[in-house]
Each structure stands twice: as C-alpha cells, then as structure tokens.
A and B are shown apart, each in its own frame.
Chain A
Amino acid sequence: MSQDPATTDRAIVAAVNKPYYQIVREMLADNIASGNLPAGTLLLASVVADRLQVSRPPVKRALELLIGDGIISEGPERGYVVGQAGSFKKIIRTNLHGLALDLPAELAENRGQPSWERIYDETETEVLNCIPFGTFQISESMMGEHFVVSRTVVREVLLRLDARHLITKDRSSHWLAGPFSARMLDEAHAVRRLMEPCALEDCAPRLQPGLLEEMRGRLGTARRTDAAPSPNQLDGLETDLHVTLLQPLRNRRLAEIVRLSQISLVINRLFARHIGVHDETDLLNEHRLVLDHLELKDVAGATAALRRHLDLDHQRARARLKVLSIVDAPSVPPYLSRVH
C-alpha cells in the first residue's frame, strides 16, 4: 500500500495540471539531454508507458511532439529512436526498466495504484483543461478505448469526478463536464483561503534547508526582467508557492482539500498559454511578500500574505475565466465532445 507521504505529494503536485503528455515530453527530453537515454535508444510507446506507469495515449503524443522537436526520430521498423536519423550508428535496445531515469514527482510516485487511480489524475487534468472553454459530453466507451481500460474502471473514475463536482449527469443520463463556472471559482476560493494558509503554517517549520533561497532566487530573476515572465516561468513560480512549499504537509486529508481548492491554477495557466502573459508585477510582489515573511520565520505574516495573494488572484482568475469562456478549447481528448 502506498500510504506514505509520497501519495500526498502526488496529490498536491497534480494540482499544477500540466497535461500528462507534456510531463512525459519534458521528462524524456530531460533524460535525453542528460545522456540517460543516449542517441540510438529505441523507444516503444508501450514500453515507455509501462516504465512510467502511465497510459499509452499521452506517451504516444509526447513521442510525436518530440519528433517535431527534432530530438527523436521514427524507428526503421517500429517505435522511435533517440536522435535524428543518421546521427547514431545503430539502434540500442535497452531495457528501460533497468535504466535509472530522472522522473518528475508527478511520475515518480505513479506506481502500485489500482487501475482507476492511474488514469484518474490524467482524466481530471484533461477535463479541467477543457471546461473553461465550454460544456463537453463524456463518452464512456471512447474513454475506455482511449485509456485501454474496462467500462468498470471508467465508471469508477467518472463517479469520483462527479463526487468532486467536476462533472454531472444531465437529464438524459449523459455525463457532462463544464462549463467551468464563476461559482466553481468562488466556492473553491472560499475553501482555499481558509485551508491553504493552514497548510502553509503546518509546513513552515519543516521546509527543506535552502528551498526558500532557491525560490527567492527564481522570483528575483522574474522581477528583475522588464518583460513579462514566460508561461513556463510563471508555472514554476506558482508551483513553488502553492505546491512545493506545501510538500512537507503530513495531513493527507488537508492536502486533498487544498489540492481540490486550487482549480484557479488551471485558469491562470490556460490564460497564460492561450491568451498571453501580461504584466504580472502584482503577482510577483504578492509572492515575494509570502517568501519574505517565511525567510524571517514570521509564519503569521506569511499566512496573512498568502491569504491576501489568494484573494487578489481570485479576482484575476475570475476575469480571466470570462475571457476563456468565449475562446475555443485548444485541444480536446477524443472522449470529450463539445456540446456548447
């Protein structure tokens, strides 16, 4: 059983809601760059998926994207090979299971779970990434095909999404996801402004040495540049404050509540990617205030600053949701079909 604190971490980390294919894509690119996966290594989607304990579709998508990035190429017979065609002498067939890979936290703890759990996070992320753009119907059968799981597993996932108020059944018993309403943001915020400062208070005395300094460094870099931060930079800063800082949290129940209340992170991330990052001075200043208080070991100050940041950011997320609601969803998984 995976009842260790790692489960909690996984739950919190998933709140950043980066799509799985993106996580896999970055992880493979990193391991290729670091030499863990040398040029010529054969990558089969099924084997990579098995090694990472994720389903196949995101791995396939990640591999396709990496071809576009010019980092891997199509294999001579099947699969993909690290490096551009001609840049390696022969195909290396490595047992990926025997290979030490640097896995991001999202994937590192992805083992020993029942099958519904393995696809739950991915489904939740994909649903959350679509519903700010409208209303979608979920096809159980397509979902089963997509994840290569049985109807029972699909239903288990859907019922859990339903329990978390992320999807509903309409009058004709179809599963509907969305739209992401202003009320969802309001309700999540009302919980979050109470719970996240509690979580921070709990974690503050147990932060890893040097962590704050690193975070302040990243924030300082962003504040010193005249240009607005890149979407990735922004993701990093938000993850620092709202995910990484809370990793020492031992109360799993609190961790789950905090994670579920962080849905505005999705809105901010989608807005940054599809509409653009504009002036983020306010956000950067709010972040700094929290970190400064932590640095001075003023926990009460830090929690007050965090609450203030959450309140202000809530207003920004509300305005951004309005913009997203008129835009088309950039990418929709095959088991979701737009109804409105």
Chain B
Amino acid sequence: MIDKTSKKPLKRRDFIRKSLHAVAGLTIGGLAGILFSKSSSEEMVWQLDPNICIQCEKCSVNCVLPHSAVKCVHSYSVCGYCDLCSGYLQPGTKVRDTGAESQLCPSGALKRTYVEDPYFEYTIDEKLCVGCGKCVKGCNSFGNGSLYLQTRHDRCLNCNQCSIARRCPSQAWNRVPASRSYILKGDEKKKFLKS
C-alpha cells in the first residue's frame, strides 16, 4: 500500500481515497434519510384478499412450509348455518350426514355440529386444514361466502417474497401492516378494525 518511489502520487491517491470515502458515506447517509422518511415502524406481513381470491388451490401447495400457512377461516356472522351446506357437502350428495364420502373437505377439517333445527354450526380444525379452498369455492357458489382463506400469522414465516403471492393467478396477495394483518368479512371485520 505504500508507494516508496515518490511522495506526490501518494498524496493524490490519499486525497481521492478520502473524498471517495466521504462520497460513499454521504450516499449511504442520504439513502438512509430518504428511506427513513418513507418508513413505518411496523412490520409488513403478507395477506390475501378474500374478495379477489378465486380458490385456485395454489395456496395449499406453494407455501414454503410443509403445511401451508393459509387456512380456511369461518365468519360466523355471515354464515347461514345451512343444513344443506355447499361448502361442507359434496355437490349432488343425497344424504346430509357427516360421512367422509359426503364431505367436500379432502382432509375432514371442516366439522359440523347440530345447533337447533334446522341449523348446523361449521368449524374448521386448523391442524387438518390444508388451505385448498374447496369448501370456500362451494360456499361462494351457493352460500353466503362465510368460508374464506386467510394466512394465519401464527404459522406464516413472513418471507420477504411470499412464494404463494408470487404464483397467485388473481394477484390477491399484498403486503399489509402488521396491525391490520387480516382482511376479514362481516362483523369480525368491524371488530378487528376497531381493536
């Protein structure tokens, strides 16, 4: 690093080095300043908009997790509690029972319990749900659309580039602020936004 032949070039080189150092420092500082002016103290997380979702079933296979972080959720305030639930039963099924062959859910995650005549409550076992959205499609076709898909943030790793979002055909995915990390329907939406 030491040029022993003469002293002049050393000074010149030093000057260039010092000024470049200052320029680099100022560039980083300026960039950081601009970025801070556009920043938020909140983390951004991934969420899908159920109003845009087309239930293509890609959420269930494209997550980096072995079991997708996308699960079906159920808005009880929107649900009609139907006996003939098009999200629960196979289309065209004659019997309305809880037999595996009459269920639409491939993993039996959607559970049905009797409330009172003629109403049935539907709940989702998240441990079993694979996030395929078959029930969502069924519910949207004939029902109120009370079943819909959401990323569950206790499972989501919040990758910098969500691998589901990248492959979503309807571009339903977006980065949302952590405090508004769900895009909900019905009363749940109001409650969530209030809190």
* Interaction A to B: no
Interface residues of B, Cβ cutoff 8 Å to A: none
